[in-house]
Structure 1
Amino acid sequence: MGMSRLEVNVRRLLSQCEQLAKEDKKDWRLDKYIRALDEMVVALHKIPNKPSKDTISEYVRRVEFLKGLSETHKLASPAEKVVAAQLLSHGTATSAENITKEIHQKTTSKYSKELREQLFQNEKGSDSDLRQRKQKTSGEDLDALLKFHHTMQEKIADDMLTLARSLKEQSQLAGTIIRKDTETIDKSSVMADKNLERLKVESERLEEHSRRAWKCWMWLMILVVLVVFINMVFFMRFKKKKKV
């Protein structure tokens, strides 16, 4: 059985979104395309001619990757972007996931470069401040620097926890949808088996009724033949007596 029109549209829009993400252009259409993709994948679960469970899981994984990529682009600091990019799940290295893996590597490299540039600028600024404050006290500078690094570490840890929770919720939601579809398929299979058993029973009853009806008609025909035969015999004897 071929692909449905909805699945064809999902595949085309997925390829277009992944191409836009690969080119890394600030296109306002990408977010709208991803939202439309999310709705189309949900609708894909409900059509009669829906694809296999593995295919739907692949579509869900690719859409979730694009959604996570879009949310990563909206983060403020390069450190948050690096952490979010590393937490993105890009799937296995199959032929369908090659472009996703390429986007993931390109995005991680880009944000790592931005983070290095920011840290280099911060170090330059810190060195300049340090030289200016060396005229005062070196102890205060050291405390401020340690405090700054400690604050940055706490912020990065909090961002990682927030992103991990978000990804966990998204994974749980996708798992819930897949489990519901699996339960629906199981129920449909059980109902199909029950209907098949009922059909077999009704077929056997119909065959039994057909056999009984055939026997009844056969005995009726035999009875009619006997009656006609007896009447003919009586009629022939009656004619002979009349002639005599």
Structure 2
Amino acid sequence: MSVQAMSWALTQQLVTDSHTRHVLLCLANYADQSGRAAFPAVSSLALDTGLAPRTVQYRLRELETIGLIKRGNQAVAAAYISQRDRVPVCYDIDLSRGAQDAPRSERGAPDDATGCMPEQNGVHATTERGAPCAPNPPINHPLTILNQKESAKAPERGGKGKAQKFDPLTAKPANASDQAWADFCEMRKAKRAPLTLRACELIAKKLANHPEPDAVLDKSTTSSWSDIYPESVLPGAGAKNGKPSAFNNLPNHTPDMYQGDGNGPAF
């Protein structure tokens, strides 16, 4: 469950239809903190929302047409579902299209209320007996304020605390493609087992001099393996999957290479 994605789904005003908002909120419940990798089955969303499965499908298409959701990395869902004909669609939610803030005129007490001191944006119009003015109400969401406080404390810590978060995409093996490595990293992240620098170094060492590094990574991704097993992929497996094989310099066999008469080959 992602608190960030669900908070965004509750406060966004781009979708006003009640059924569509309900489907979006339940879909955000399955996403990560960035709004990605949400792959619930239609039957699960129907159970969560109380809507018919066909209605859920219509609302998902509507959200996809608006641009609030889009199809993400399907390999993440395939890593968890063994039956290929039952793999649900993996969606990414666009959290950059944030919620609208309330108009400034709606904040504070109304100016024409009987017996009430008029307020504007949370500040008293007059200060009585040296009392401090009331602070302006925050316009940021609670999660945003929390993130701002954490970022403000970061420079004070200096070298103390945890080191900067490691990105495994920067430690790609030299002989592997960007796509195969990115899919493997995404699968490890979905399993709540992100790669460390040491793990990336060991994987790169195993893939070194292997003729089919992408095939090894793809097999581990589709099988949801935390490690790679180069011995499980035979040479030429990449060519079977539509990728160029490393064995492409083999000689072409012609009839004149074999000696023999009309009765058969000579031994």
Q: Which has the larger radius of gyration?
A: 1
More helix as a share of residues: 1
TM over 0.5: no
TM-score by length of 1: 0.28
TM-score by length of 2: 0.26
